[in-house]
């Protein structure tokens, strides 16, 4: 798996798995110095992309150094500061997706969906709950069946336990006490935002609206906190996931090209956000 490291006051992920660097948290004081540092890491390891999630105030500095904006999220930082997803490519084919027409079709269809205003029901015999440590073995089993590969180690019980006890809430749908669908809310308490992510439904239970139900429940929990900016980085080729977020009134704000290794190949990802 790619590893997460801290440099001065900033945090980034990198490795051969996604063949990239992902600057996850940028400290403003690091802006000028971290750009050449990441360049050196990329060249040393022959990575073909850097993706950097940075405050709008740092955008110009990254643009001066060969980055381009692929997406943005207003109010991501403490409910007021805009985040820009800045990309730099080191190999020409990395910033071209042969599936771009399919991705455009997904977005066109998703944007035609009206936002739902009513509660979303969950029919018997299915049940909903927030996960506890006792659910981890079943969660690992579901993730292994759904994702051959994934950008974060959700197949590792220790990772799920560690994140569950720190900053991630996992949401489950079960049938006869067997988990059939999962999602997670990864909370950034320092910046008051949350990423709605890690959706997985066993193949036999797809098409039943479980992702939409889980997203509704996740939002309900977040509404009881001080966090008002919700976002996701969804697989751009997936009609289901993009439609799910459109139905919950999320706004599309850009596509990260060939950004993430999921199920054995690099996929482009769509960014959606919602302010509550």
60, 76, 95: which is the final residue of a domain? 95
User: Does one domain contain both 111 and 72?
Assistant: no
The Cα–Cα gap between 273 and 55 comes to 16
**Are residues 159 and 182 part of one domain?**
yes
- Supply the CATH number for residue 211's domain: 3.40.630.30
Q: At 133, is the pLDDT very low, low, confident or very high (cuts 50, 70, 90)?
A: very high
How far is the CA of 250 from the CAs of 45, 113, 159, 223, in angstroms?
A: 36, 11, 29, 15
Most confident option among 27-41, 116-130, 144-158: 27-41
Is residue 85 located within the same domain as residue 112? no
For residues 8 and 82, membership in a common domain is answered with yes
- Cα–Cα distances (Å) from 200 to 13, 38, 39, 256, in that order, read 23, 32, 34, 21
Task: Enumerate the β-bridge partners of residue 7.
Answer: 10
| 141-145 mean pLDDT | 97
Question: In angstroms, rounded to a whole number, what is the distance separating the alpha carbons of residues 273 and 229?
Answer: 7
Identify the sign of the CA torsion 44, 50, 52, 58: positive
Q: State in Å, rounded, how far the first CA of the chain is from the last one.
A: 34
Q: What are 28-73's pLDDT values in tens digits?
A: 999 999 999 999 999 999 999 999 999 999 999 999 999 999 999 9
Claim to verify: residue 129 and residue 247 sit in the same structural domain: yes
The domain total for the chain is: 2
pLDDT band for position 209 (50/70/90)? very high
pLDDT for 79: 67
In this structure, the answer to whether residues 82 and 121 fall within a common structural domain is no
| 25 and 161 share one domain | no
Both 194 and 236 in one domain: the answer is: yes
pLDDT in tens, 173-185: 999 999 999 999 9
Q: Is the pLDDT of residue 132 over 80?
A: yes
Of the residues 95, 130, 159, which one is the last residue of a structural domain? 95
Q: How far apart are CA 94 and CA 49, in angstroms?
A: 7
Q: Is the pLDDT at 119 greater than 90, yes or no? A: no
Q: Is the model more confident about 96 or about 151?
A: 96
Q: Print the domain residue range for 89.
A: 3-95
Please tell me the predicted confidence (pLDDT) of residue 78.
Answer: 83
Residue 273: closest CA among 77, 76, 87? 76
Last residue of a domain, one of 95, 119, 153: 95
pLDDT tops 80 at residue 118 = no
């Amino acid at each position: 798996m790619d590893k997460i490291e801290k440099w001065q006051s900033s945090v980034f992920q990198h490795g051969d798995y996604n063949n990239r660097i992902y600057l996850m948290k940028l400290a403003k004081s690091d802006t000028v110095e971290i750009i050449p540092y990441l360049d050196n890491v990329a060249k040393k390891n022959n990575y073909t992309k850097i993706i950097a999630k940075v405050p709008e105030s740092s955008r110009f500095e990254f643009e001066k150094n060969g980055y381009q904006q692929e997406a943005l999220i207003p109010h991501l930082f403490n409910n007021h500061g805009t985040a820009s997803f800045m990309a730099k490519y080191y190999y020409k084919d990395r910033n071209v997706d042969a599936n771009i027409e399919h991705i455009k079709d997904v977005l066109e269809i998703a944007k035609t969906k009206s936002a739902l205003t009513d509660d979303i029901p969950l029919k018997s015999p299915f049940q909903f709950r927030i996960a506890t440590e006792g659910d981890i073995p079943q969660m690992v089993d579901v993730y292994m069946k759904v994702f051959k590969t994934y950008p974060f180690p959700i197949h590792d019980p220790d990772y799920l336990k560690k994140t569950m006890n720190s900053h991630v809430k996992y949401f489950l749908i079960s049938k006869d006490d067997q988990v059939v669908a999962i999602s997670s809310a990864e909370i950034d308490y320092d910046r008051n935002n949350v990423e709605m992510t890690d959706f997985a439904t066993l193949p036999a239970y797809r098409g039943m609206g479980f992702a939409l139900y889980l997203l509704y429940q996740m939002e309900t929990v977040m509404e009881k906190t001080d966090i008002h900016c919700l976002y996701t980085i969804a697989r751009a080729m997936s009609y289901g996931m993009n439609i799910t977020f459109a139905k919950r009134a999320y706004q599309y704000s850009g596509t990260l090209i060939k950004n993430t290794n999921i199920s054995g190949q690099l996929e482009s990802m769509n960014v959606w956000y919602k302010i509550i």
